[in-house]
């Protein structure tokens, strides 16, 4: 009887999987073949009139049109495609239709919260941005009371607003009762009922359906009528990741309401002696690709037909609180001093603080006067590097140019911590030639960290097409030469340049001067600009 029941259950399961694979599904690849004129005409015929504040590229217009027709969709667009632009226009569209009053945007990092604010100011200035990322649960709920259109929070911040601590058996090392986070349904209700639309930026951050992050995002999405997901990297090596992403957006319409159905259709389940493993059926790759097209659209970099061959983006960042205090103190000290040596010293220190450290001199009984680098609590530049690497297409490589030796050390330390293969042409390595050759010849080595003083000339880096200027150099010749290492004859891909700068700091002026082909340092030393103006 038991054997019969097990066999019957298997038959029912196999029939369910067969029905699942035989479904008629949508496919949006056709829209890639539409010309720009027809796309704009189709947008004009939508139920509500929509005006783009900045002109869309063809792939952006196509992506917007689909989102305006469907209330749930995933955009798998390579880095640099303007996923935020598409999202902001969808928010504007549904707001104008009176379908949406408040939109929640969930991002990977606190850094991205400021990034969305910047994008809103460029592409949708009529929308009001509210960032939710500081303080305890009370102060964050107070942020929600602010009048706004787009409320941006990071994934980890969701735990603060939707969970509470409960006691569990056992005690901590200090003898206190152990506690753990648990989803608080009362807090969930208070939070989610405010929003009609949710956008999950870098949705691959919720790829694991066993995590609290997924469960919280699922509760938010369930309450919202309009749901969209954005990422350039929907999954790494494991297609398992797709199920959680699609389930949050379309409630199982594409990849099944249960993970079991998805696994049964696309994976072989077996024991490896240590437990159960699920191996993807390679022969099902084409079927999976066709299935996910039901509620997603993929654009690779090579498909951005009308994008320019070089795309430059300014990335404004903030200082950590302790760095800002130090910076402000140096400003006060500088007001009373104005000789050349002092000007140079303050100028250098301000630039260092923008990168998360400052060189100071100390007196030592044995060594005498010694210079050391004091690091601050947090460096948004390092977080931004991590985000851009995470979002970079798998077939691309990146060069990170820096000015200070200490910055090179900090970047290398972060890459080691993340276990990302890299090479360096700076003070952190002994054999720079060997590292350079490894970056050129090893497909797994995706990142090259270069001191702009030593790597602005003589290096041929056409195998990379992503560039980060970690801190703006104040030497126009170095800047131009460094950019030409990547964007030069022989480059076969579109190039993306990201210029980091700390807002409302000396770096703003350095970057503005360099774009004009001028040196802020020279202007300062020659007295053409006063120290106080910086």
What DSSP element (H or E) covers 315?
Answer: strand 310-317
Residue-wise pLDDT tens digits, 218-263:
999 999 999 999 998 887 778 988 999 999 999 999 999 999 999 9
Contact between 506 and 348 under an 8 Å Cβ cutoff? The reply is no
532 closest CA partner among 350, 307, 394: 350
Query: What's the CA gap between 81 and 298, in Å, rounded?
Result: 11
The CA distance from 432 to 84, in Å, is 38
CB 174 within 8 A of CB 182: no
508's enclosing H/E stretch is: helix 506-515
Residues in Cβ contact with 7 at an 8 Å cutoff, skipping those fewer than 6 apart: none
Output the DSSP codes for 427-475.
Answer: TT-S-HHHHHHHHHH-TT--EEEEEHHHHSSS---TT--EEEESS--S-
Cite the DSSP H helix spans in 81-125: 83-96, 110-123
| Backbone phi, psi, residue 99, to 5° | -90, -30
Q: Residues, the chain, total?
A: 534
Q: What is the DSSP letter of 461?
A: -
Phi and psi angles of residue 352, each rounded to the nearest 5 degrees, phi first: -65, -45
Output the CA–CA distances (angstroms, integers) from residue 203 to 17, 224, 243, in the order listed. Answer: 26, 16, 12
Other Cβ atoms less than 10 A from the Cβ of 251: the count is 14
pLDDT in tens, the chain (534 residues): 666 566 666 666 778 888 899 999 999 999 999 999 999 999 999 999 999 999 999 999 999 999 999 999 999 999 888 899 999 999 999 999 999 999 999 998 887 888 899 899 999 999 999 988 777 778 888 888 899 999 999 999 999 899 998 888 888 777 788 888 899 999 999 999 999 999 999 999 998 999 999 999 999 999 999 999 999 888 777 898 899 999 999 999 999 999 999 999 999 988 777 778 889 999 999 999 999 999 999 999 888 888 888 899 999 999 999 999 999 998 888 877 666 667 778 889 999 999 999 988 776 666 556 778 899 999 999 999 999 998 898 889 999 999 999 999 999 999 999 999 999 999 999 898 899 999 999 999 999 999 998 766 668 888 999 999 999 998 888 888 888 888 887 888 899 999 999 998 999 999 988 888 888 888 877 777 777 777
Task: Report residue 127: phi and psi, to 5°.
Answer: -85, 140
Whole-number CA gyration radius for the chain: 26
β partners of residue 372: 360
CB atoms within 10 A of CB 36: 15
pTM of the complete model: 0.83
| CA end-to-end distance (rounded Å), the chain | 84
Q: Which residue has the tokens 């217009």?
A: 61
């Amino acid at each position: 009887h038991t054997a019969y029941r097990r066999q019957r259950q298997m038959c029912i399961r196999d029939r369910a999987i067969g029905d699942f694979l035989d479904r008629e599904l949508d496919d949006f690849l056709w829209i890639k073949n539409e010309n720009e004129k027809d796309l704009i005409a189709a947008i004009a015929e939508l139920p509500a009139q929509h005006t783009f504040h900045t002109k869309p590229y063809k792939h952006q217009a196509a992506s917007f049109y689909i989102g305006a027709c469907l209330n749930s969709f995933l955009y798998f667009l390579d880095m640099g495609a303007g996923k935020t632009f598409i999202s902001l226009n969808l928010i504007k569209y549904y707001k104008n239709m009176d379908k949406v009053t408040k939109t929640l945007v969930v991002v990977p990092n606190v850094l991205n919260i400021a990034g969305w604010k910047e994008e809103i100011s460029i592409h949708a200035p009529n929308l009001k941005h509210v960032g939710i990322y500081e303080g305890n649960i009370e102060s964050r709920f107070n942020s929600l009371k602010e009048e706004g259109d787009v409320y941006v929070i990071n994934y980890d911040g969701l735990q603060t607003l939707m969970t509470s601590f409960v006691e569990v058996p056992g005690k901590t090392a200090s003898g206190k009762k152990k506690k753990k986070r648990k989803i608080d349904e009362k807090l969930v209700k208070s939070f989610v009922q405010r929003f009609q639309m949710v956008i999950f930026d870098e949705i691959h951050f919720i790829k694991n359906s066993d995590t609290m992050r997924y469960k919280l995002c699922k509760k938010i999405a369930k309450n919202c009528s309009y749901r969209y997901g954005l990422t350039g990297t929907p999954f790494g090596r494991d297609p398992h990741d797709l199920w959680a992403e699609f389930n949050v957006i379309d409630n199982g319409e594409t990849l099944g309401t249960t993970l079991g159905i998805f696994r049964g259709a696309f994976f072989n389940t077996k024991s490896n002696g240590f437990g159960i493993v699920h191996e993807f059926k390679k022969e099902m790759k084409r079927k999976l690709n066709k299935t996910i097209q039901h509620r997603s659209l993929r654009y690779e970099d090579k498909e951005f037909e009308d994008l320019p061959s070089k795309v430059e983006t300014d990335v404004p960042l903030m200082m950590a609180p302790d760095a800002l205090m130090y910076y402000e103190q140096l400003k006060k000290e500088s007001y009373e001093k104005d000789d050349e040596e002092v000007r140079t010293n303050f100028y250098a220190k301000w630039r260092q603080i923008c990168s998360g450290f400052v060189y100071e001199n100390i007196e030592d009984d044995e060594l005498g006067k010694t210079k050391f680098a004091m690091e601050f609590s947090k460096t948004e530049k390092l977080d931004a590097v991590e985000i851009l690497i995470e979002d970079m297409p798998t077939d691309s490589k990146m060069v990170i140019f820096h000015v200070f030796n200490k910055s090179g050390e900090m970047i290398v330390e972060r890459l080691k911590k993340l276990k990302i293969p890299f090479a360096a042409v700076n003070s952190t390595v002994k054999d720079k030639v060997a590292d350079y050759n490894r970056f050129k010849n090893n497909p797994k080595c995706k990142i090259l960290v270069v001191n702009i003083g030593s790597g602005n000339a003589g290096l041929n880096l056409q195998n990379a097409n992503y560039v980060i200027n970690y801190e703006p150099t104040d030497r126009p010749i170095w800047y131009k030469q460094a950019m030409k290492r990547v964007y030069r004859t022989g480059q076969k891909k579109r190039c993306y340049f990201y210029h980091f700068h700390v807002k409302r700091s000396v770096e703003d002026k350095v970057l503005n001067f360099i774009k004009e082909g001028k040196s802020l340092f020279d202007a300062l030393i020659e007295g053409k600009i006063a120290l106080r103006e910086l």
